[in-house]
Amino acid sequence: MSVAIDSGPSDRLVARDIHVRRGNRCILQAVDLSVAPGRLLALVGPNGAGKSSLLNVLAGLLVPSRGHVTLDDRPLDQWSPTALARRRAMLSQQVHLDFAFSTNEVVMLGRSPHPPNNSAVMGDQGIVEAALRAARAWELRGRNYLDLSGGEQQRVQLARVLAQVWEQHDEPSWVLLDEPEAGLDIAHQHFVLEHARTLTRQGYGVITVLHDLNLAARYADDVALLAQGRLLHHGSPAYALDPHTLSTVYGLPLRRITLDDDEWILVPSRSQDKGAATERVRRYLSRI
């Protein structure tokens, strides 16, 4: 019974009391977050809430001004960059690449942290091909990266990220995604999140920033709602995506509509007074 919970605290990705300041601005304030592998966590919140910053902190890319992140109970700054790179990969929002690599070469860059003759069962080339398939970019193989559209480039970058942590060894690996749905058509948006779920079933921990609340509701195991650098809610989608809180946080009245198959979606209400909502936001935020 306790098997599911009892993976132990050691293989968790834990953020403790994270503060990030940039100049006088507080980007993140006192964020505590403990994430278990094998689950899909969605970070949601309005623009400027600190979602990407939190993801960067969790990846070890951004050093918080206070607090720290641990993986396997070890602070990230005590990990060697290569060892960390073999355990977690991250897809950033925008990756600029101005050189005419082929798509396969771009994905092969994901294998950089692994020694040239690493012990991967499939071999690096096999992994590159498998990652291209997994990211639904197989038909783009061998193309010049610069000839691709934005969405196609995004899929190739996703394949690169997947290739980086393709084979897990003793410990679970982590995949962090910053708005992976951005720039993708509706089919590819769902493919990406479907694949993220597949990863969690293989034991990966997946943390993704999502703007689309309905994607979060549908695919995430857990949702963390951020606003103004604070973590407001962390829990099941039904709990964290409470329409009342969301309406105040986003300043847009939102309501849930339950669909026939017990799913629900969030849509803006039509006839609410927007001024009243804005006032509610103001009062709400002054309290937190």
Partner 1 sequence: MNSIALPRSHARSRRTLTLGGLVALLTVTVLWSLCCGAMDLSVREVIGALGRWLSGQMAHSDDLVVLMLRLPRVLLAMLVGAALACGGTAMQGLFRNPLADPGLVGVSAGAALGAVTMIVLRGALGLAQSAITGSLAITVTAFAGGLLATALVYVLGRRRQGVATLLLAGVAINAIAMAGIGLLTFLANENQLRDLTFWSLGSLGGTDWWRLAMVAPPIVFALVLLPRSARALNALLLGDAQARLLGFRPERLQPMLVALVALAVSAAVSVSGVIGFIGLVVPHLLRLAWGPDHRILLPASALGGAMLLTVADTLARTIVAPAELPIGVLTALLGGPFFLWLMLRTRMGEVRV
Which of 164, 189, 200, 247 touches partner 1 (CB under 8 A)? 164
- Residue closer to partner 1, measured from CB, 72 or 221: 72
- Residue closer to partner 1, measured from CB, 105 or 171: 105
The answer to whether 84 contacts partner 1 (rule: CB under 8 A) is: yes
> Distance between CA atoms of 89 and 151, rounded to whole angstroms?
20
The answer to whether 63 contacts partner 1 (rule: CB under 8 A) is: no
- Residue closer to partner 1, measured from CB, 153 or 200: 153
The answer to whether 257 contacts partner 1 (rule: CB under 8 A) is: no
- Residue closer to partner 1, measured from CB, 100 or 265: 100
Q: Where are the alpha helices (DSSP H) in the chain?
A: 51-59, 81-87, 103-109, 123-134, 150-164, 186-201, 213-219, 237-240, 243-250, 274-287
Which of 92, 168, 214, 245 touches partner 1 (CB under 8 A)? 92
Distance between alpha carbon 184 and the CA centroid of its chain, in Å?
Answer: 16
> Distance between CA atoms of 73 and 18, rounded to whole angstroms?
16
Residues 102-161 that bind partner 1 (CB under 8 A): 102, 104-105, 109-110, 112-113, 123-125, 128-129, 141-144, 146-147
The answer to whether 57 contacts partner 1 (rule: CB under 8 A) is: no
Contact, 206 vs 194, CB < 8 A?
Answer: no
> Distance between CA atoms of 104 and 131, rounded to whole angstroms?
10
The answer to whether 191 contacts partner 1 (rule: CB under 8 A) is: no
Structure tokens at 31: 């964020």
Total chain residues near partner 1 (CB under 8 A): 38
Contacts with 3 (C-beta within 8 Å, 6 or more apart), sequence order: none
The answer to whether 85 contacts partner 1 (rule: CB under 8 A) is: yes
Give the residue from 257, 176, 189 showing the smallest Cα distance to 13. Answer: 176
Q: Which residues bind partner 1 (CB under 8 A)?
A: 59, 61, 80-86, 89-90, 92, 95-102, 104-105, 109-110, 112-113, 123-125, 128-129, 141-144, 146-147, 164
